[in-house]
Structure 1
Amino acid sequence: MSATSLAALARTSDPQTVLRRLLALDAVVTGANGLAYLAFSGPLGRLLGVDSTLLLALGAFLTVYAAAVGLLASRARPAALPVRAVIEANLAWSVLSPVALVLWLSPATAGAVWTVLQALTVAGFAALQHLALKARQDIRD
């Protein structure tokens, strides 16, 4: 994806704004997911075929993580190191989700599909955030 297409996606040509918007969107999506796991762990656990205790733990983690990413997005110029940490955490999540599906989890079909879809979504966030960070750094050089 070129810097031009990334700018079109974020509706701005300023790499700083693109990066902040992607971080904010990541925080909103992750936070919504975490809060849903916390609030509806029982019904979601039955639907996905996953233990509700696991969903509660994941929900707590995701909610705290989303708050941290949201805080980073609120900075006028998010520092590169924490942004890289978010990108790497997203990459780790997107790799470990299907690994967990194969090695540890035995969800229902809906749970397996959900796991793959969220891994792809998180990988997409990581890729877009990486491109935005790179574009911001290229502008400075």
Structure 2
Amino acid sequence: MTTRLLKFALIADAVASCVMGGLLVACAGILSGFLALPQPLLLYAGLFLLPYAGCVLWTGTRQVVPSPLAWLIVALNAVWVVDSFAILITGFVSPNVWGIAFVVAQAMAVAALAAAQVLGLVQARSLLKTM
């Protein structure tokens, strides 16, 4: 069973990932200078996000969302959030204040999407139990 919340959270994730991926690929050089983040990091993150967005969109537009795929997306989002903070904490990058704000803001947005996806999955499981 699939809930509206799960579908909405997956489609929102896909749209946000596509927009962010396109922005990072198209503007990696400009953003690198403004955020003091390495251009290759921004470019490769964007290149990852584009096919990821397609997979998430495909998953979110199924009549019945496959739970294992949805949980995989939640896990990937969790890894993204942890890695976002890890690159700041470990000193892997040395961004300026705008770069720190950028990394934290996008990590928090991804965390919110993952939380909504988990809630949607839990709702779907609860609905199945009541049937």
**For the superposition of Structure 1 and Structure 2, which TM-score range results when normalised by the shorter chain?**
over 0.9
Query: Aligned ranges for residues 83-98 of structure 1 at < 5 Å?
Result: 83-98=70-85
Identity value in percent: 30
Paired residue for 1:137? Answer: 125
Q: CA deviation at 1:65?
A: 0.8
Normalised by the length of structure 2, the TM-score is 0.93
Secondary structure at the aligned position of 1:40 is classed as helix
**Where does the alignment leave 5 or more consecutive residues of structure 2 unmatched?**
none
Report the residue type matching 2:125 in the other structure: Q
Paired residue for 1:128? Answer: 116
Q: Could you report, residue by residue, the CA deviation over 1:49-73 in whole angstroms, capped at 9, with x for unpaired residues? A: 1121221111100111111101111
Higher RCO (C-alpha 8 Å, min separation 6): 2
Cα RMSD of the aligned pairs, angstroms, is 1.3
Hey, what's the Cα distance between the residues in 1 that align with 2:25 and 2:48? 10
Q: Which runs of 4+ in 1 moved over 3 A?
A: none
Q: CA deviation at 1:15?
A: 5.5
Of 13, 19, 22 in structure 2, the residue corresponding to residue 35 of structure 1 is 22
Query: Aligned ranges for residues 70-109 of structure 1 at < 5 Å?
Result: 70-103=57-90, 104-109=92-97
- Does 2:41 match 1:54? yes
Paired residue for 1:9? Answer: none
Q: CA deviation at 1:17?
A: 2.0
Normalised by the length of structure 1, the TM-score is 0.87
Secondary structure at the aligned position of 1:25 is classed as helix
Report the residue type matching 1:117 in the other structure: A
Q: Could you report, residue by residue, the CA deviation over 1:77-122 in whole angstroms, capped at 9, with x for unpaired residues? A: 1100000000111111111101111211101110111111111111
Q: How many residues align?
A: 128
Hey, what's the Cα distance between the residues in 2 that align with 1:17 and 1:76? 11
